[in-house]
Amino acid sequence: MSPRTLLDRLRRTDPRHYQIAALASLLAYGLVWLRFEVSPGRAALLLGTALLTQWGCGRMQGFPFEPRSALISGLSLCLLLRSNSAALAAAAAFAAIASKFVLRWSGKHVFNPTNFGIVALMLLSGGVWVSPGQWGSVAFFGFLLVCVGGLVVYRAERSDVTLAFLGFYAALLVGRSLWLGEPLTIPLHRLQNGALLIFSFFMISDPRTTPDSRPGRVLFALMVALGAAYVQFALFRTNGPLWSLALCSLAVPLLDRLLPGGRYQWQRAPRARKGVPDETPRPHRGAVALDGVLPHARAGFLRLLRGEG
Amino acid sequence: MAFCPTLAQGFCGFYVARGDAQLFNQASQVVLVRDRDRTVLTMANDFKGEPSEFAVVVPVPTFIEKGQIHIGEKALVDHLDAFSAPRLVEYFDDDPCRRIALKAANGLMLPQSAAVREEDRHSRSLGVTIEARYTVGEYDILILSAKQSSGLETWLRENGYRIPPGASAVLGSYLKQGMRFFVAKVNLKEQSRLGFSYLRPIQVAYESPKFMLPIRLGTVNAQGPQELFVYALTRNGRVETTNYRTVRLPSDVQIPEYVKESFPAFYRALFAQQVRKEGMRAVYLEHFWNMGWCDPCASDPLSQEELRNLGVYWVGEDAAAQPGGGSGGPQQVFVTRLHLRYDAAHFPEDLVFQETADQNNFQARYVLRHPWRGTATCPEARAYRAQVRQRHQQEAQTLASLTGWGTEDIRRRMKVGPDWSEPEPPAPKWWETIWKK
């Protein structure tokens, strides 16, 4: 098979499959090579809880079980969330998925599920943490390749929020270092961070929770970047991007009102069903279908990203 | 908060004296007590030069009052070091003819292991403000702030601190972040009055959200990589670096018996090999334990009084008043021992830490297992010897992969044959058996 045919064939597949494969390989790499502190049992618990919650909540609201997005949230939690307590880990997975069904505004859910699960448990329990240093910078380039690979394969037509965030955040880090007179190796080192890549390519990019219009998304990316830098360099706390995203997500309804935009239309979107949260793309405003049942949809990058929804 | 004795080794600063580098391979040790935004930093050094040559320059995040500075005891840091050091554990095989059973042995700890006014005026002309001037213990301490790094650099040079080229930029970046400089020299008169023959560790307590350790000054003009041990004492859990990978040192592996005689060499080689393996880009976790107990103990846990002296203010509130301070008892104090080898190329930015909620104990622990060397003639003995040969080989391979030493060299040191068997003990002399039962 020629590379071109392979690429074409890949583009016809559901982008979430690429995303699941990417996250699963990152997890395998992290477990075997970087000795992440997640046991296979813990990974199974996180994935199992996420899937079960998806199934249960879906059932209550009466639509078919769609495991892929829950799997993506579960895998992201395996990569990011650390805890000594199995109960807290399960609670985070539950909170992540349940938030999609409960915390909603104008047909969209408010928070990225993984982001919500982590932030909620960090706020409420004090028994979980995220290790942003766990990737090291050696693994970074391979990691970058996997993420950018997704952009290339799925033609990144809606990657604006990822690129805008990375651009703004990099500019803030470099600008700060230039102002302080630090060598540029410092901001570069800060940018070579696996956790930042997961955040940029798999979390902030979630079209379910980002503004509808491009100007809105770019503004949103700027807000998240400013917030992240504020947490890191003014409050001196870790996980700036996570805190900032959770907070800025609350402003998305306002951004959608100020800067309205048509929601993404899938080329072959199936019929919308009323009252089915997130699992089906809708043709009306608010129909960024990231968890949708889109077997034949021709992909844009948005769909690669939508798995977090 | 970085600190730098003259010798230029150390996490902190730069060569600040007319230092001959007589003290290479020296490690800096820092104790970092952290709870909420409160930090107590203890900086220990092994400075062995002339006291008049000693000077430290430490960036600190806030203004420091006299009461926030204390001179501690080196013995406390040594005790903490001993408590958290990587350790050997021995087991002895029983007579295979009786049943192979294991018996735990003791832990083995790593051996450790009017002018003034004029000066003020001149300082101001350089844009340097001497915000405070204290004598604490044997040290003269200044808290400096500056408008410009070039002024600070000039001031430091004029006052006998040897500043390497390139330090000015680093000083400048700390100044722009609103940090002060804590500068200390030895007051010889005080030192002879107090009668200490060595320099005691300086302790500084401050409140700031910054949970970090500046290492950049120390890398400006360093000759080769430097070594740093950070002992973090916290209330809730393990400490790790957030901007570098924190990696656990390999632990719980069985290694050849002869290592007992050369454990420090083994530990050094092991550490060097791990640093190579991670491309000198990781911080190593060597120990994380609840201070209330240990198993096996390389050294007794620190008493409440010792912990308080190190700055752990939340233990033994009343114990300080009691004679002896009391010891033992449940103390919610965790010690994290981090070890790193660093230079500017691989560690471009200062270390930033976080306290996690992890409370799973960890220790770097290496196991020796002595085979049964008595007479054993039962049929099981043959199988046992084959097993021991296999074990020898495995231990040698483990040691080789941990340290990078050659397997053949290890085999020779183990005094075993090419088939990993131990030489037969010489037959007893005829008279040796006469009076033995």
Q: Give per-residue pLDDT as tens, B377-390.
A: 788 888 888 899 99
Provide the pLDDT confidence category of residue B336 given band limits of 50, 70 and 90. very high
Provide the pLDDT confidence category of residue A98 given band limits of 50, 70 and 90. very high
Greater confidence, B237 or B326?
B237
Please list every residue in chain A whose beta carbon sits closer than 8 Å to the beta carbon of residue B278: 136, 138
Position A305 pLDDT exceeds 60: no
Provide the pLDDT confidence category of residue A13 given band limits of 50, 70 and 90. confident
Burial class (CB in 10 A: 0-12, 13-18, 19+), A202: buried
Question: Residue B113: its pLDDT value, please?
Answer: 37
Amino acid (one-letter) located at A257 = R
- Sign of torsion, CA A267 A272 A277 A280? negative
Greater confidence, A115 or B186?
A115
Please list every residue in chain B whose beta carbon sits closer than 8 Å to the beta carbon of residue A129: 354, 356-358
Position B234 pLDDT exceeds 80: yes
Position B319 pLDDT exceeds 80: no
Amino acid (one-letter) located at A100 = K
Measured in angstroms, the CA of A254 and the nearest CA of chain B are apart by: 32
Amino acid (one-letter) located at B239 = V
Strand duo B87-92 + A104-105: pairing: unpaired
Average pLDDT score, chain B? 81
Position B325 pLDDT exceeds 60: no
Q: Which of A129, A135, A188 sits opposite B356 (nearest CB)?
A: A129
User: pLDDT tens digits for A53-95?
Assistant: 999 999 998 878 889 889 999 999 999 999 999 999 999 999 9
Q: Residue A180 and residue B173: Cβ atoms within 8 Å? A: yes
Position B425 pLDDT exceeds 80: no
Provide the pLDDT confidence category of residue B87 given band limits of 50, 70 and 90. confident
Query: B37, B356, B360: best mutation site toward chain A, by most A Cβ within 10 Å?
Result: B356
Tokens matching residue A62: 């009466």
Q: Would you state the torsion angle of the CA atoms of residues A79, B212, A164, A245, taken in this order, to the nearest 10 degrees?
A: 60
Provide the pLDDT confidence category of residue B221 given band limits of 50, 70 and 90. low
User: pLDDT tens digits for B275-290?
Assistant: 999 999 999 999 999 8
Greater confidence, A140 or B78?
B78
Q: What is the ipTM for the molecules in this complex? A: 0.81
Greater confidence, B31 or B103?
B31
Position A309 pLDDT exceeds 60: no
pTM of the model as a whole: 0.84
Whether B209 has its CB under 8 Å from any CB of chain A: the answer is yes
Measured in angstroms, the CA of B68 and the nearest CA of chain A are apart by: 22
Question: Residue B317: its pLDDT value, please?
Answer: 67
Q: Residue A129 and residue B354: Cβ atoms within 8 Å? A: yes
Span A208-237, mean pLDDT?
93
Question: Residue B2: its pLDDT value, please?
Answer: 38
* Contact of B231 with B84, CB cutoff 8 Å: yes
Please list every residue in chain A whose beta carbon sits closer than 8 Å to the beta carbon of residue B352: 238
Provide the pLDDT confidence category of residue A148 given band limits of 50, 70 and 90. confident
Question: Residue A138: its pLDDT value, please?
Answer: 66
Radius of gyration of chain B (CA): 26
Q: Which of B247, B278, B348 sits opposite A189 (nearest CB)?
A: B348
Query: B235, B245, B343, B353: best mutation site toward chain A, by most A Cβ within 10 Å?
Result: B245
Which runs of E-coded beta strand occur in chain A?
Answer: 81-83, 104-105, 108-109, 128-130
DSSP A212: S
Q: Which of A129, A134, A138 sits opposite B279 (nearest CB)?
A: A138
Report how far apart, in Å, the C-alpha atoms of B197 and of each of A206, B29, B47, B51, B81 are.
64, 19, 11, 9, 21
Bridge partners (DSSP) of residue A84 are: none
CA atoms within 13 A on the CB side of A53: 26
Q: Residue A235 and residue B209: Cβ atoms within 8 Å? A: yes
DSSP A293: -
Give ∠ CA B312-B318-B319 in degrees, rounded to 5: 70
Query: A238, A239, A242: best mutation site toward chain B, by most B Cβ within 10 Å?
Result: A238
